[in-house]
């Protein structure tokens, strides 16, 4: 087949754009990925005990976008699922995000009543307030609570996760960490929260199953002898790698995942446990069966150890949101503008921006509509 488009990367961004081109332009697309599987970082497969695990860390789907929800729902049925997280602070387990139950667990009932009363007075019930706002509160009780959460939980978790202190990171990151004024203990509040019934990889197989789409795995962009043969290349890999790191490497945080098998049905009360304290090296532990609803007498968990990224030894997971890194990315973006006739850079590694899965799909849909369909 002679292809009109080359898509580099079979993750959410690449697969979405491929499907849109195949269906709406009726043109042939070649999708390549250097890994031996589709689905990018959302790849899942059964482990030796038949438990569906997420190889690159737990992925929970949630969105407020009807467009994204409808697009993906063509390729999968869903299990409704609301994610819940408990954090270990000292010897106690508290709901995360921090809520009224967290306050009642950590403080005496007299102190807890006073703090809850002041929070309700200042913010009303069932609201989510960023910790940043609470830190600036003039109310002594609210400010004390905010300081407690910041010093005992947020600061430690941030330092472990990023190896940076919160003030070194983009303030937007801090502004997204909320305290829940009430007892709601759901981690996400999006309108659509669900997990693909048969897993992400099965969903990707269906997205990419179209007569106009061919997928070649174990194939790197460098293996394509003449990219100019294609009408356009849509590149969802790391933008700095495309330009041979000419301005230096874009910094990322990586994670090492350790998978633990147990001969017991369940090991944790909820899907994810957070460990902000420095007494643990890991930050999170996730038990997959809580999210997939599989019935199995055994269980598998993944433990996450954040670590420095090195392009030769591990994978780029989270772009590190600092001012300096944004400037470095801008240099690559300027280079990208010079080749935009032939190559488009789209997706979390090409945009050097953390995207949730729904945002990656939305980015793909929007890119297709604006840059390919209308031209």
Ligand X SMILES: Cc1cc2nc3c(=O)[nH]c(=O)nc-3n(C[C@H](O)[C@H](O)[C@H](O)COP(=O)(O)OP(=O)(O)OC[C@H]3O[C@@H](n4cnc5c(N)ncnc54)[C@H](O)[C@@H]3O)c2cc1C
Least CB distance to ligand X at residue 49 (A):
22
Cα 240 to Cα 361: distance, rounded to the nearest angstrom: 22
Cβ-based nearer residue to ligand X, 182 or 227 = 227
For residue 37, what are the CA distances in angstroms to 69, 209, 216, 217, 291? 24, 14, 9, 6, 22
Q: Binding to ligand X by residue 87, rule CB under 6 A?
A: no
Cβ-based nearer residue to ligand X, 106 or 199 = 199
At residue 190, the 3 state secondary structure works out as coil
Out of 349, 362, 365, 372, name the contact with ligand X by CB under 6 A. 349
Cβ-based nearer residue to ligand X, 123 or 282 = 282
Q: Binding to ligand X by residue 237, rule CB under 6 A?
A: yes
The answer to whether 94 touches 86, Cβ cutoff 8 Å, is yes
First to last CA, the chain: 23
Least CB distance to ligand X at residue 192 (A):
11
Least CB distance to ligand X at residue 363 (A):
7
Q: Binding to ligand X by residue 347, rule CB under 6 A?
A: yes
Least CB distance to ligand X at residue 4 (A):
19
Given the structure tokens 């992925």, which residue do they identify?
59
Cα 215 to Cα 235: distance, rounded to the nearest angstrom: 15
Scanning residues 280 to 339, which ones bind ligand X (CB under 6 A)? 317
Out of 102, 236, 274, 299, name the contact with ligand X by CB under 6 A. 236
Compose the 33-62 pattern: x for residues touching ligand X by CB under 6 A, - for all others. xxx----xxx-------------xxxxxx-
For residue 311, what are the CA distances in angstroms to 70, 156, 244, 290? 36, 26, 12, 33
DSSP state of 342: T
Q: Binding to ligand X by residue 32, rule CB under 6 A?
A: yes
Cβ-based nearer residue to ligand X, 244 or 263 = 244
Q: Binding to ligand X by residue 9, rule CB under 6 A?
A: yes
Cβ-based nearer residue to ligand X, 7 or 132 = 7
Omega into 97 within 30° of 0, i.e. cis? yes
Cβ-based nearer residue to ligand X, 186 or 298 = 186
| 299 strand-pairing partners | 262
Burial 196-215 (b: 16+ CB within 10 A, else e): bebbbbebbbbbbeeebbbb
Strand 272-274 to 85-89 pairing: parallel
Least CB distance to ligand X at residue 295 (A):
23
The answer to whether 53 touches 41, Cβ cutoff 8 Å, is no
Beta strand extents in 20-123 (DSSP E only): 29-32, 44-46, 52-54, 61-63, 78-80, 85-89, 92-96
Cβ-based nearer residue to ligand X, 166 or 238 = 238
Least CB distance to ligand X at residue 346 (A):
8
Compose the 158-177 pattern: x for residues touching ligand X by CB under 6 A, - for all others. --------------------
Which residues does 31 contact at the CB level (< 8 Å), separation at least 6?
7, 9, 10, 14, 15, 18, 208, 213, 214, 215, 216
Q: To 10 degrees, what angle do helices 12-20 and 357-367 make?
A: 30
Cβ-based nearer residue to ligand X, 119 or 255 = 255
Q: How many residues bind ligand X (CB under 6 A)?
A: 34
Q: Binding to ligand X by residue 199, rule CB under 6 A?
A: no
Q: Binding to ligand X by residue 220, rule CB under 6 A?
A: yes
Cβ-based nearer residue to ligand X, 100 or 200 = 200
Give the interface with ligand X as residue ranges (CB under 6 A).
Answer: 8-14, 32-35, 40-42, 56-61, 220-221, 236-237, 255, 317, 347-349, 355-358, 360
């Amino acid at each position: 087949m002679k292809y009109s488009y080359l898509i580099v990367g079979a993750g959410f961004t690449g697969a979405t754009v491929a499907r849109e081109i195949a269906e709406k332009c009726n043109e042939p697309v070649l999708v390549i990925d250097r890994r031996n599987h589709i689905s990018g970082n959302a790849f899942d497969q059964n482990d030796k005990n038949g438990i569906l695990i997420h190889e690159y860390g737990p992925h929970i789907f949630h969105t407020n976008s009807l467009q994204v929800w409808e697009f993906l729902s063509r390729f999968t049925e869903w299990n409704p699922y609301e994610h819940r997280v408990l954090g270990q602070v000292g010897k106690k387990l508290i709901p995360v995000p921090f809520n009224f139950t967290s306050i009642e667990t950590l403080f005496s009932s007299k102190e807890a009543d006073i703090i809850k009363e002041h929070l309700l007075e200042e913010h009303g019930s069932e609201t989510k307030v960023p910790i940043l706002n609470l830190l600036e509160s003039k109310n002594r009780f609210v400010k004390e609570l905010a300081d407690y959460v910041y010093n005992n939980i947020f600061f430690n978790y941030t330092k472990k996760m990023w190896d940076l202190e919160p003030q070194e990171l983009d303030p937007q990151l801090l502004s997204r960490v909320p305290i829940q004024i009430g007892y709601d203990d759901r981690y996400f509040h999006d309108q659509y929260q669900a997990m693909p019934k048969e897993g992400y990889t099965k969903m990707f197989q269906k997205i990419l199953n179209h007569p106009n789409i061919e997928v070649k795995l174990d194939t790197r962009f460098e293996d394509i002898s003449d990219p100019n043969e294609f009408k356009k290349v849509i590149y969802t890999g790391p933008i700095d790698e495309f330009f041979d790191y000419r301005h230096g490497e874009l910094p990322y945080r990586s994670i090492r995942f350790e998978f633990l098998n147990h001969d017991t049905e369940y090991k944790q009360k909820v899907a994810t446990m957070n460990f902000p304290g420095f007494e643990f090296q890991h930050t999170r532990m996730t038990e997959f069966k809580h999210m997939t609803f599989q019935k199995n007498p055994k269980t598998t968990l993944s433990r996450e150890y954040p670590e420095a990224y090195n392009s030769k030894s591990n994978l780029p997971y989270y772009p590190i949101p600092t001012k300096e890194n944004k400037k470095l990315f801008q240099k690559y973006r300027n280079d990208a503008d010079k080749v935009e006739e032939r190559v488009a850079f789209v997706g979390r590694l090409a945009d050097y921006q953390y995207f949730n899965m729904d945002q990656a799909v939305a980015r793909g849909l929007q890119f297709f509509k604006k840059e390919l369909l209308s031209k």
